[in-house]
Amino acid sequence: MAQLVQIPTARLAPDTLTALLEEFASRDGTDYGLRERSLEEKAGSLRRQLDAGELALVYDLDSEQYDLCNRERLAELDL
């Protein structure tokens, strides 16, 4: 079973958090919305969701990978 920890984003250097959000946003692949959003727009949206508490940054100690989880998933993980 994965060992997950929630990472307080305020403890990360701003450049590190930006790089993480941009990497995460680039995982999406192609946009199929009405208009394609830039990487900066996607990362900005993720940052706003983190700031609002809608998303949380979670790190898996076993795989050494991170993910963004919504509040519901975070509650399921009991973190």
Q: Tens digit of pLDDT per residue, the chain (79 long)?
A: 679 999 999 999 999 999 999 999 998 665 666 778 888 999 999 999 999 999 999 999 999 999 999 999 999 988 7
pTM to 2 decimal places: 0.84
At 30 the pLDDT is 55
State the residue for tokens 């900066």: 40
Interacting residues of 64 by C-beta distance below 8 A, sequence separation 6+:
none
Cβ proximity of 38 and 24 under 8 Å: no
List the domains of the chain with CATH numbers: 4-27+37-77 (1.10.10.610)
User: Given CA atoms 77, 65, 9, 50 in this order, what sign does their dihedral have?
Assistant: negative
Cβ proximity of 68 and 10 under 8 Å: no
